[in-house]
Amino acid sequence: MIRIITDTPEYFSDLGDVLRLFYGDIQISLTDGETVFEHHFTDRDGHWIDRWMSDDRESVLDQPAFTGTPVEVKRLRKRQVKLALYNLLKELTGTRPPWGSLTGIRPTRLLYEAIEAGMSLEDAVQNVQTAYDVSPDRAALLGEIAKMQAGIREAPANQFDLYIGIPFCKTRCSYCSFSAGEIGDGKRVAPYVDALLREIAMCRALMDEAGYTLRAGYVGGGTPTAIPCADLERILIAAQTAFPTAVEWTVEAGRPDTIDEEKLRMLRDRGIGRISVNPQTFNDETLKRIGRAHTGAETLEAYALARKLGFDDINMDLIAALPGETVADFRHTLDVVEGLRPESVTVHSLAIKRSSKLHEQLTVAGGHTQTNAEGAAEMITTARSRLMGQGYRPYYLYRQKYMAGNLENVGYALPGKACLYNIGNMEETVSVLALGAGAISKWLFDRTLRIERAPNVRNIDEYIARVDEMVARKRSVILCGEVGR
Ligand code: SF4
């Protein structure tokens, strides 16, 4: 356990995030711990001075104090105290994380802040690189993403994106931390769909009243195609009738073992332009190990069927550093994906969340599963150079806590095939109306300066019982600008 002694305990959780960049998922306390990091802050003669000490090493960061609104000052103070600790850790450990001192999930935000302050794209990339010690290739990646997002990052203020969550899966993947449950005997599907249809109808009235129209719709989960075709169709008909203006519809047909001709025909006939067919890996041993009840061959069959039925915008999700996978295994997956040439490929770095079975397997004594965090960086770099060599471009990026190697998740797409929903959601440039158990609506105010959230309850039975209350939460946020719960 690590103990932090600090003059600014209000940043304790952010400082913990910096320590985890170097030491992984460790426990951190303000009162206990064998290893101690001590911090003193002085505000003197117009300078902020942060001094960090540990193990006879010391690091001092002395910068002119920032003046501005209280919110801006707090943000800048937080950045400086984190950077000062980061400098000490870099010296102590002799390592440099690829994203430098950045711990947030959206590094592109800093790039856009610099651009909005008047910098050119090139200068903004350089600024992120030097101010946060971001590696040159990661800073360049941000620049590439900004180019792909040009002209499609924002939407008119009276448009929203729609997310519909179907929280059922055939079996549970060992790395999964979502609130999705196994579908089991399927008895909860029908009441869930009824509740969802009620939420759609009530939200249609809400959007009419608020004066918003739909830009892009996204049905995710869980695995939407895990439920019977007729149920999924009822949901799509209700959503498309309620919100007829979408220019893009995506349905995650994620698990190949849930895809069949009937469902694909239905999706096509309902005008769903974009689907995901997710291999994660084409190594069958790994698929078994991570609890995915399908093989690589089934992924190929599902993909071929989708192509045969005319789908021309297919995404494939891959995960680097799955348990037991080598760089050679990952290269094999890339070989197969390159041969298929889907319109977009999303490359994830494995994140082992505490609520996943995998976390339990890795932490319980005798756990048999090993991840390849060291190889993760090579896998991610290989995926980037190979996909970009094939004409794909990175168009959105996010980071998560507990990711192998402190890396990133990146969506790549062929020209003209970037998913609007993914960009708006990740960049928080478009309001999202989110329906279903565990879905979190995010509403933008004051030209995106303020975001309020309205979360739905995660438990499926609770959601079914309290769907009217979920809409009331959205109503108070969207119509009255109230702070969500
Ligand atoms: S398919 Fe996705 S949501 Fe379902 S169990 Fe696997 S990771 Fe979780």
CA 320 to CA 431: how far, in whole Å?
31
CA 268 to CA 265: how far, in whole Å?
5
- Which residue from 174, 178, 289, 409 has its CB within 8 A of the most atoms of ligand 1, so it is best to mutate? 178
* Range 52-63 average pLDDT: 94
pLDDT digits (tens, 9 = 90+) for 277-294: 999 999 999 999 998 889
* Range 66-82 average pLDDT: 91
How far apart are the CA of 407 and the centre of ligand 1, in A?
Answer: 21
Q: Judge if the beta carbon of residue 274 lies within 6 A of ligand 1.
A: no
Number of the ligand 1 atom closest to the C-alpha atom of 222: 3
Q: What is the mean pLDDT of the chain?
A: 92
The CA distances from residue 50 to 4, 38, 60, 77, 149, in Å, are 14, 10, 6, 10, 37
Residue 185, pLDDT > 50, answer yes
Q: Judge if the beta carbon of residue 174 lies within 6 A of ligand 1.
A: no
What pLDDT shows up at residue 205?
98
How far apart are the CA of 265 and the centre of ligand 1, in A?
Answer: 23
pTM of the model: 0.91
- Which residue from 166, 169, 317 has its CB within 8 A of the most atoms of ligand 1, so it is best to mutate? 169
45-54, 167-176, 265-274, 375-384: which range is least confident on average?
A: 167-176
* Range 187-211 average pLDDT: 97
Model confidence at 351, in pLDDT bands (50, 70, 90)? confident
Is residue 382 within 8 A of residue 334, CB to CB? The reply is: yes
pLDDT digits (tens, 9 = 90+) for 414-466: 999 999 999 999 999 999 999 999 999 999 997 667 899 999 999 999 999 99
Percent of the chain clearing pLDDT 90 (strictly above): 78
Nearest CA to ligand 1 atom 7: 176
pLDDT digits (tens, 9 = 90+) for 225-240: 999 999 999 999 999 9
Is residue 191 within 8 A of residue 167, CB to CB? The reply is: no
Q: Judge if the beta carbon of residue 438 lies within 6 A of ligand 1.
A: no
Distance from CA of residue 159 to its chain's centroid? Answer: 22
What pLDDT shows up at residue 172?
86
* Range 59-80 average pLDDT: 92
Is residue 425 within 8 A of residue 453, CB to CB? The reply is: no
Q: Judge if the beta carbon of residue 180 lies within 6 A of ligand 1.
A: yes
Number of the ligand 1 atom closest to the C-alpha atom of 291: 6
What pLDDT shows up at residue 368?
40
How far apart are the CA of 79 and the centre of ligand 1, in A?
Answer: 35
Range picked from 167-171, 366-370, 385-389 for highest mean pLDDT? 385-389
Model confidence at 314, in pLDDT bands (50, 70, 90)? very high
CA 200 to CA 207: how far, in whole Å?
10
Nearest CA to ligand 1 atom 6: 173
Model confidence at 375, in pLDDT bands (50, 70, 90)? confident
What pLDDT shows up at residue 329?
95
How far apart are the CA of 149 and the centre of ligand 1, in A?
Answer: 28
Q: Could you tell me the strand order of the sheet in which 47-54 lies? A: 28-29, 2-6, 35-44, 47-54, 57-64
How far apart are the CA of 31 and the centre of ligand 1, in A?
Answer: 38
Helices (H), 225-372: 229-242, 261-269, 284-289, 296-308, 327-340, 357-363
Q: Judge if the beta carbon of residue 223 lies within 6 A of ligand 1.
A: yes
The DSSP 8-state label assigned to residue 359 in this structure reads H
- Beta bridge partners, 233, equal none
How far apart are the CA of 114 and the centre of ligand 1, in A?
Answer: 37
271-275, 375-379, 402-406: which range is least confident on average?
A: 402-406
